Amino acid sequence: MKKRVLSILMTAAMVISLTAGCGQKADKKETRKSDSGAIVLDMYHSWSTDSERGAALNALIEQFNKDNEGEIEVKVTVNPDFPAYQEKVKTMISTDTTPDIFHYNFNPNDLSRQESGKLMDFSDYMDDEWKARFGEGDLETLTVNGEITSIPFEKAGAVMYYNKDLFSKAGISEFPATWDEMTEDCKKLEKAGITPFSLYTADDAWYTCNLFTYLAASYAGVDKLNEGGDIDTDEMKDAAAKLAELTKYTTSDAIGANYSVAMNNFVSEKTAMVIDGPWLIGSLEPIKDKVGIAQMPSFQDGKVAENYVVTDAQTPWAAAKTDDKEKEKAIVKFMKFITSEDSVKQLTLEGAVFLSPKLDMEDSDVKATTGLLGEYLQLNSKVEQSTVNIQRNLTTAANSKLPSLLESLMLGNVTPDEFVDQLAAENK
């Protein structure tokens, strides 16, 4: 009898506990109001305010809050560790603590966010005027199962930054136009005591995967890469072989290094080249007069257009689903503001960010842009073909295996064919 009573009491306690837990999660979804009665929107992003793009974004959020004082207030939490940020977003969605507004890297092989049922669908708000703000295909790419749960925002090209002084010291007068010329120039740089590339293998191996993707595009062609499908191809193995060759011309700390280490190797002039996005420009202040931006090499066999580029993944905004229509409208109002022509111009010119929403390249302020940002904008304005960094489209399993596979390739512990075979096996 005592055991039965104890069992009933324990069951009752569990029910109370579960009910309380559900209540707590439900409370988090309720619309918060500030003391002034404004709808509070919790925003989570990764752009640190001590960076140019973070400062520019923060200024726009402050402007939005001022313009909508007493009605809408955006409150921001920043996590600048982007790999950790990405995983945190997934955790928040799975635990029903989805931020009101957040961004993430879109991966067609990982639609867990879109298929969670916890993201707001913007379809009913996507009028012709707002739709016209975005590049061809961007909205279509982000429309999953008939729902627009993500708003196109950032899609930056990864370009080659190079140190003109170091190239000159090695007797190189112009940037190589072909991959064979690149190999020869790497030898010249090395002979002059200069390490050619900044690369790294930890986290997302962004720099190394940019190089790998440019090589894969050169061998296979951009169109074939954009078709997706199996990566276990002869062209991918050719690219891996060339990657193994070129990674011999990097720093000794590349294996196991992260973005910060590799980036600082270039800024401190320990290396002559790095493949990065426009956000790097703000970090180049100490050597800005020595740095140039170059079109990437090809094999000049017609496989790729003369002006081709590898981009980061589409990094869109998304929002938590809500039953409160007033809160929904507040989210849409902010999204339209941050993707407006004026906001995009400000983010580009002040934050050195290249965005999916259209930028008027004929705008007098844009045309007058000088320095590295001006070079970057001019190069991107002429792009004929683009493809997304290979790493951004890998499955979760393949991504987790990538660092160790790259290290094995660079150390010669696996052949280029084995590297591709193993990566493809993880990617299925």
Q: Same domain, yes or no, for 306 and 317?
A: no
Q: Is residue 238 part of a domain?
A: yes
- Whether 217 and 231 share a structural domain: yes
**Tens of pLDDT along 140-149?**
989 999 999 9
C-alpha of 120 from chain center: 21
Residue at 397 is within a domain: yes
CATH number where 338 lies: 3.40.190.10
Mean pLDDT, rounded, for 134-143? 86
Residues 242 and 209 grouped into a single domain: yes
Number of domains comprising the chain: 2
Whether residue 19 lies inside any domain: the answer is no
The pLDDT-based confidence of 29 (bands split at 50, 70, 90) is: low
Mean pLDDT of the chain: 91
Report pLDDT for 219.
Answer: 97
In a shared domain, residues 41 and 189: no
Residue 14 is assigned to a structural domain of this protein: no
Provide the percentage of residues in the chain whose pLDDT is more than 90: 80
Do 100 and 227 sit in the same domain of this protein?
Answer: no
Mean pLDDT, residues 44-59:
94
The answer, yes or no, to whether residue 7 has pLDDT greater than 60, is no
Same domain (yes/no): 206, 88: no
Report pLDDT digits (tens) over 100-120. Answer: 999 999 988 889 999 999 999
Q: Summarize pLDDT for 373-416 with one digit per residue, the tens.
A: 999 999 988 899 999 999 999 998 999 999 999 999 999 999 99
The pLDDT score that the predictor gives to residue 228 is: 79
Domain region containing 110: 33-155+313-359
Q: Domain ends where: 330, 359, 388?
A: 359
Q: State the SS3 of the chain.
A: CHHHHHHHHHHHHHHHHHHHHHHHHHHHHCCEECCCCCEEEEEEECCCCCCHHHHHHHHHHHHHHHHCCCCEEEEEEECCCHHHHHHHHHHHHHCCCCCCEEECCCCCCCCCCHHHCCECCCHHHCCHHHHCCECCCHHHHHEECCEECCEEEECCEEEEEEEHHHHHHCCCCCCCCEHHHHHHHHHHHHHCCCEEECCCCCCCCHHHHHHHHHHHHHHHCHHHHHCCCCCCCHHHHHHHHHHHHHHHHECCCCCCCCHHHHHHHHHCCCEEEEEECHHHHHHHHHHHHHEEEECCCECCCCCCCCCEEEECCCEEEEEECCCCHHHHHHHHHHHHHHCCHHHHHHHHHHHCCCECECCCCCCHHHHCCCHHHHHHHHHHHCCCEEEECHHHHCCHHHHHHHHHHHHHHHHCCCCHHHHHHHHHHHCC
Pair 146, 85 in one domain: yes
In a domain, 303, yes or no: yes
